[in-house]
């Protein structure tokens, strides 16, 4: 079965005083479900989204939605944005400030009162129907914007960081709404985000952008857990990227030992490397086991910094090595400066085995 969205997009900006030249050159097939465009600012994610929607015209390439060609530079097909049947959610909700919630949703639904009532109920804004956008919360405005977008009956949905600016509670609420949209409406969806936790929470597929190109793509969780290169690992913030020499590697004993600087990493067997090989590898911060120093059989490292979020604390050690622990565990450590680290299965990914 063909992917519902297929595109090849090339666009150049020559640059000028105060700006660098930029060349977007991407080709991809977005499957059913939610595809994530992830990467740093300026990597080309939003420009790609705008090219799919018809807001920006590529210099070359094509855009296909199922059996419809929306753009083809060779045959000079360029369907106007208003005729592409694309739902587009911007970073800001863009509701009409002078219209009520019902009027905003009705704007997309035309004359279908039943459709408007259905969407108001579905997104739990039926009790807010008579209010203006300024009279409801940020999360409610986003739900209204999604309802208005879906009211027009789009064939695919594009979202440019719709959670930006929302606090953690509203972000989680929006994520729950988007999961319902995926399940109930069955639209192919593409979401641009800078937040890897959001990408993994919502995404079925992940496309990793860097400097106008896609450097890796695949199922979202598998892509994160198996970065194809040091660049991909750094872009996704998987963890530290290190180089070292394989000291031991035995499939029979299910054990590989790598010396990296003064650190000996003892982990499960890693296929594709032999003793003496120089390797580049990624250490997955969320899979390393870290405890306050109490076990001399494991590497002991000095804590340099701790970055706390709502649920977890990321520990930064010498050499850039990272580990993630629960907030409860970190608080129980009572400011411990030395920690023992262990590297279970899945915590180490070889990036360039045997120098390949």
Q: What is the mean pLDDT of the chain?
A: 89
> What is the pLDDT at residue 352?
57
Assess whether 64 and 166 both reside in one domain: yes
End residue of a domain, out of 170, 195, 225: 225
Burial class (CB in 10 A: 0-12, 13-18, 19+), 282: buried
> What is the pLDDT at residue 335?
75
Assess whether 221 and 242 both reside in one domain: no
**pLDDT (tens digit, 9 = 90+) per residue, 327-348?**
888 888 887 888 888 999 999 9
Residue 209 maps to which CATH number?
A: 3.40.50.300
Assess whether 22 and 170 both reside in one domain: yes
* C-alpha distance across the termini of the chain, in Å: 34
Assess whether 80 and 188 both reside in one domain: yes
Sign of CA dihedral 117, 121, 122, 124: positive
Query: What's the whole-number mean pLDDT along residues 310-322?
Result: 82
Instruction: Give pTM, 2 decimals.
Output: 0.87
Assess whether 305 and 163 both reside in one domain: no
End residue of a domain, out of 201, 225, 249: 225
Whether residue 230 is contained in a domain is answered as no
Assess whether 249 and 342 both reside in one domain: yes
Assess whether 215 and 343 both reside in one domain: no
Assess whether 199 and 256 both reside in one domain: no
Q: Which residue has the tokens 């929006």?
A: 174
Whether residue 133 is contained in a domain is answered as no
Measured over all CA atoms, what is the biggest interatomic distance in the chain, rounded to whole angstroms?
Answer: 73
- In terms of residue numbers, what domain contains 341? 238-355
- Whether residue 147 is predicted with pLDDT greater than 70 in this model: the reply is yes
Whether residue 210 is contained in a domain is answered as yes
Assess whether 171 and 211 both reside in one domain: yes
**pLDDT (tens digit, 9 = 90+) per residue, 71-113?**
999 999 999 999 999 999 887 778 899 999 999 999 866 667 8
Rg of the chain taking only CA atoms, in angstroms: 24
**pLDDT (tens digit, 9 = 90+) per residue, 189-237?**
999 998 898 999 999 999 999 999 999 999 999 999 999 999 999 999 8
Quote the tokens at residue 189.
């969806």
Whether residue 257 is contained in a domain is answered as yes
Assess whether 33 and 179 both reside in one domain: yes
**Half-sphere CA count of 102, side-chain side, radius 13 A:** 12
* Count of structural domains within the chain: 2
Assess whether 28 and 76 both reside in one domain: yes
Assess whether 215 and 331 both reside in one domain: no
End residue of a domain, out of 197, 225, 253: 225
């Amino acid at each position: 079965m063909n992917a519902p969205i297929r595109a090849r997009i090339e666009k150049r900006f020559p640059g000028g005083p105060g700006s660098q030249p930029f060349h977007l050159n991407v080709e991809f097939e977005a499957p059913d479900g939610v595809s994530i465009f992830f990467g740093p600012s300026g990597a080309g994610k939003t420009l790609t989204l705008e090219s799919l929607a018809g807001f920006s015209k590529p210099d070359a390439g094509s855009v296909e939605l199922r059996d419809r060609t929306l753009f083809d530079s060779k045959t000079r097909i360029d369907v106007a944005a208003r005729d592409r049947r694309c739902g587009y959610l911007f970073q800001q909700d863009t509701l009409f400030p002078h219209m009520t919630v019902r009027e905003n949703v009705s704007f997309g639904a035309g004359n279908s009162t039943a459709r408007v009532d259905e969407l108001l109920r579905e997104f739990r804004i039926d009790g807010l129907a008579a209010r203006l956008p300024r009279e409801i919360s940020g999360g409610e405005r986003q739900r209204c914007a999604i309802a208005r977008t879906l009211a027009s009956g789009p064939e695919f949905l594009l979202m440019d960081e719709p959670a930006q600016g929302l606090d953690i509670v509203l972000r989680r609420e929006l994520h729950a709404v988007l999961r319902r949209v995926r399940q109930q409406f069955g639209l192919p969806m593409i979401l641009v985000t800078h937040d890897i936790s959001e990408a993994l929470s919502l995404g079925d597929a992940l496309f990793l952008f860097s400097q106008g190109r896609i450097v890796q793509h695949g199922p979202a969780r598998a892509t994160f857990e198996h970065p194809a290169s040091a660049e991909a690992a750094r872009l996704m913030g998987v963890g530290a990227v290190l180089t070292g020499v394989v000291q031991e590697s035995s499939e029979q004993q299910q054990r590989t030992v790598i010396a990296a600087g003064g650190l000996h990493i003892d982990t499960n067997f890693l296929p594709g490397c032999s003793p003496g090989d120089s390797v580049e590898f990624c250490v997955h911060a969320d899979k390393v086991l870290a405890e306050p120093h109490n076990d001399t059989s494991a590497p002991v490292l000095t804590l340099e910094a701790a970055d706390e979020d709502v649920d977890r604390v990321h520990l930064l050690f010498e050499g850039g090595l990272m580990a993630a622990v629960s907030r409860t565990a970190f608080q129980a450590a009572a400011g411990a400066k030395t920690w023992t680290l262990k590297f279970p299965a899945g915590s180490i990914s070889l990036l360039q085995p045997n120098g390949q």
